[in-house]
Amino acid sequence: MHWLDWTVLLGTLGFIVAYGIWKTRHTSTLNGYLRGDNQDRWWAVMLSVMATQASAITFLSTPGQGFSEGMGFVQFYFGLPLAMVVIAFVFIPLFYKWNVYTAYEFIGKRFDHRTRLLTAILFLIQRGLSTGITIYAPSIVLSKVLHWPLSWTCLFIGALVILYTTTGGAKAVGVTHKQQMAVMFAGLFAVFGFILYYLHDSLSFGESLGLAGALGKMDIIDTSWDPAKKYTLWSGLIGGFFLQLSYFGTDQSQVQRYLGGETPRQARSGLLMNGLVKIPMQFFILLIGVMVFVFYLFHPAPVHWNAANVEDMRLVSNAETQGAQRSAEENDTEEMRMQRTAKAVEDVHTRNAEEIAQYYVAVVEAQRAGNAKGVEEHVRSPGCARAGQVLAR
């Protein structure tokens, strides 16, 4: 890595940890440690709730959903606003009225200490496993980038988080969530900007969306009742509602965020705003994945996961090693073989990009002319056979 990369990475991590410790250095009460002295305004509650849910998993897996399956995953969040309304007007008034520090303290007062202990243990087990995965996933990426052992990378990230959260409690988490959300959104916009920049020689943004739509990646709403489909409008509204209701209403990692609001009204406003902002945020993250899909139709992938292209690469490589080149191949160095393989991969991608571009231009021209039959005939024509095979991959 370049020294500037190290500066940004270590500077960001160091600043967030140091800022969290410094801002909470005078925390000495139970209310300050568990509820942040109830100092959060509605916008701070909203950012804290969003930052708690949007872990590194979100930025690794959600674009992957957009890449592989398109925008349909956003339907999963359609039940979120409904769940926020129920929590805002039912759960929050009860939590503040009973003046509890955790959702499980409320359970204990409502039922008994055994029920409280059971729910708290279930939360700790579930959250412990979830947090482990949340740390493990970005550690895989960082260990490759930094050339560190994976175990040491996990330990490094975990130690930083433990340092400022145990020092300042909920208040430290709340005050650093603003910086963390700023870093997250800056990264998202930077990635999106780079994709558009490197695509502008091949396609405009509108044409990229058109190509993604032609390949089925922009199918957002599915009103089907087919139970075999993972993401539909109904599964998002019904299943998503109860899932988000249980997560935001009973999971202490989220309950603690809005219990830190100045007043029940501030906590309620922050939670309702989260319900409005979360769907556009997830839409944008999925759109990044779709744009990455379009990008790699015209550019070689840095990691080869496409089995069809690997097979093409092998055929080209085998053809090159025939006849007179066979003896020379035996004397080649490993570096020369890698260069030749990379060139073969690039040639395959170049041919794919040219065929896809020709296919797309013909389809768009037929659509603009309002000739639906012409589109169908063009897609079925022998000239599109190769492009169709490429797109199917």
**Does one domain contain both 140 and 43?**
yes
Is residue 367 domain-shared with residue 327, that is, in the same domain? yes
* pLDDT at residue number 245: 94
Is there a single domain that holds both residue 292 and residue 375?
no
- Shared-domain flag, residues 387 and 256: no
Q: Are 19 and 105 in a shared domain?
A: yes
Regarding whether 365 and 274 lie in a shared domain, the answer is no
Tell whether 357 and 291 lie within a shared domain.
no
Q: Identify the CA nearest to 298 among candidates 219, 381, 213, 204.
A: 204
Name the residue type at position 88.
A
Do 232 and 94 fall into the same domain?
yes
Contact 65, 283 (CB under 8 A): no
**pTM for the whole thing?**
0.76
The predicted-structure confidence for 30-61, as pLDDT tens digits, reads as follows 888 888 888 889 999 999 899 888 877 788 88
Task: Say if residue 269 is in the same domain as residue 339.
Answer: no
- What is the per-residue pLDDT for 334? 58
What is the distance between the alpha carbons of residues 326 and 82, in angstroms, rounded to a whole number?
67
Return the structure tokens found at 27: 């925390």
pLDDT mean across residues, the chain: 82
Q: Say what the pLDDT of residue 392 is.
A: 46
266, two tokens: 């501030």
Among 298, 324, 340, where does a domain finish?
298
Q: Which residues contact 188 (CB under 8 A, 6 or more apart)?
A: 59, 284, 285, 288
Domain boundary residue, one of 245, 274, 298: 298
**Torsion from C-alpha of 171, 172, 176, 180, nearest 10 degrees:** -110
**pLDDT given at position 390:** 46
Domain count along the chain: 2
360, two tokens: 């797309």
What CATH number should be reported for the domain holding residue 234? 1.20.1730.10
Among the candidates 267, 298, 329, a domain finishes at: 298
In the prediction, which pLDDT does 248 show? 94
pLDDT digits (tens, 9 = 90+) for 337-393: 666 666 666 666 666 666 666 666 666 566 556 654 554 555 455 545 444 444 445
85 and 127 both lie in a single domain = yes
Instruction: State how far the Cα of 22 lies from the Cα of 20, in Å rounded to an integer.
Output: 6
Distance (Å, whole) CA 129 – CA 17: 23
Cβ pair 15, 179 in contact under 8 A: yes
Q: Which of 378, 314, 309 is nearest to 340 (CA)?
A: 314
Per-residue pLDDT of the chain (393 residues; tens, 9 = 90+): 778 888 888 888 888 888 888 888 877 788 888 888 888 899 999 998 998 888 777 888 899 899 988 999 999 999 999 999 999 999 999 999 999 999 999 999 999 999 999 999 999 999 888 888 888 888 888 888 888 898 999 998 889 888 878 888 888 887 788 888 888 889 899 999 999 999 888 888 988 898 898 888 999 999 999 888 889 999 999 999 999 999 999 999 899 999 999 999 999 999 999 999 999 999 999 999 999 999 988 887 765 555 555 666 667 666 666 655 555 555 555 566 666 666 666 666 666 666 666 666 666 566 556 654 554 555 455 545 444 444 445
Question: Could you tell me if 192 and 288 lie in one domain?
Answer: yes
- For residues 273 and 331, membership in a common domain is answered with no
Assess contact for 174 and 48: CB atoms under 8 A: yes
Q: Report the alpha-carbon distance of residue 36 to residue 262 in Å, rounded.
A: 10
| pLDDT of res. 221 | 92
What is the residue range of 101's domain?
3-298
- Only one residue has tokens 């603690």, namely 256
Three-point CA angle 12, 134, 239, nearest 5°: 125
